[in-house]
Amino acid sequence: MLEIFYKDKGQLTVTSEIEALETLGYDDVLWIDLTSPTGEEKRATEEFLDTTLQSRAQAEEIESSSRYSESETAIFINTDFLIPGPDDYLMEAVSFILCEGIIVSIRHVPLKSLTDIQRRLLVNYRTMPTGYHILVRILENRVDLDADMIELMSKEIAMFSKRVGHGGQMGEDFILDINQLQENTMVVRENIVDKQRMVSNVLKSDKFPRDVYNKLDVLVRDINSLIKHVNFSFERLEYLQNTVLGLINLEQNRIMKIFTFVSLLFMPPTVITGIYGMNVNLPIMGGMVDFAIIMVIMMFSVITVTILFRRKRML
């Protein structure tokens, strides 16, 4: 799918017709948005800009040279956008090409960050007069969405902490939930660090208009604060996980302590019954009185073991 945002008689218009590129000039077009583009759409865009679009494989590479590069006429940027799911977060590779003041975006799924900016662009494109301004606005919107996701994760961590503090049920599922939240936190941090590296490269470039650098400086500060927040959240999760594991170990130790005490408690009576269960002549083996004496000795041994355990604070 191809969408071309271009200026027409003082208004911004959008079209999906590939043929429009044959009649439009560089000064007319602001944004070419490609979503899962066909070969024909990619070729038409490449011919219009006289450059080569990047493939999905190139967009997913992690080398610094593949994430950001410049030529004499174009800037190539590859980054990942987070897509929150019911359990985990996914990262979708997105490519941006800036050429002659035009921005080209290549993606394969709908992205709220781009949809929001397109809506604002249609309302008033003069706030984003070039593709450079559009890119900065997309990054600002993306960082805001990342901040919202970090805030939701912080609330979820707080709920887990409250559950632990109130003595809620903590088992294997609870530990797995914490582990999944840790994985999501690491994915978010990786994504934000990627944005930090990309914005740092943009700040080093001399191709962007001067008026966007102040916004980029603010964006860098926002990204740095998000990284600190994510690191703190990850530390909270590690502490929470250690606390849960410690409480589970204490509960298991308590159970083992009870079993050990019961075993030791009945050990003396077991010895006594074992002795008097032998088929040999033993003392006091006459009648009911002797049976009562043996029972008293067994009860005395149980009480003695219990008292000893309590004095040594083992109960």
220: its two tokens: 């860098």
Residue-range definition of the domain harbouring residue 228: 2-248
Bridge partners (DSSP) of residue 101 are none
Give percent of the chain with pLDDT exceeding 70.
Answer: 87
Strands 102-107, 29-35: pairing kind: parallel
Residue 277 lies in a domain: no
Residue 93 lies in a domain: yes
Total residue count of the chain as it appears in this document? 315
Buried (b) or exposed (e) across 88-105, using 16+ Cβ within 10 A?
ebebbbbbbbbbbbbbbb
pLDDT of residue 146: 86
CA 194 to chain centre: 14
Pick from 60-74, 100-114, 146-160, 296-310: least confident: 60-74
Averaged pLDDT for residues 139-160: 85
The terminus-to-terminus CA distance of the chain in angstroms comes to 72
Task: Output 173 or 141, whichever has higher pLDDT.
Answer: 141
pLDDT of residue 280: 46
Averaged pLDDT for residues 37-59: 80
Check: CB of residue 79 under 8 Å from CB of residue 7: no
Give the Cα separation of 136 and 179 in Å (integer).
34
**228 has a pLDDT exceeding 80:** yes
In this structure, what are the phi and psi dihedrals at residue 116, rounded to the nearest 5 degrees? -60, -45
Q: Which of 62, 59, 42 is nearest to 51 (CA)?
A: 42
Residue 255 lies in a domain: no
- CATH code at position 69: 3.30.460.20
Residue 108 lies in a domain: yes
Check: CB of residue 152 under 8 Å from CB of residue 232: no
In this structure, what are the phi and psi dihedrals at residue 65, rounded to the nearest 5 degrees? -65, -25
Check: CB of residue 189 under 8 Å from CB of residue 268: no
Residue 183 parent element (H or E): helix 172-204
pLDDT of residue 78: 87
Residue 178 lies in a domain: yes
**287 has a pLDDT exceeding 70:** no
Give me the number of domains the chain comprises: 1
Q: Each residue of 8-32: pLDDT tens digit?
A: 877 888 888 888 877 888 788 888 8
Residue 272 lies in a domain: no
What distance separates the 2 farthest-apart alpha carbons in the chain?
121
Check: CB of residue 95 under 8 Å from CB of residue 76: yes
Q: Which DSSP state fits 22?
A: G
**202 has a pLDDT exceeding 80:** yes
Residue 231 lies in a domain: yes
pTM beyond 0.85: the answer is no
Residue 262 lies in a domain: no
CA 263 to chain centre: 47
Residue 283 binned pLDDT confidence (cut-offs 50, 70, 90): low
Check: CB of residue 120 under 8 Å from CB of residue 127: yes
**219 has a pLDDT exceeding 70:** yes
**108 has a pLDDT exceeding 80:** yes
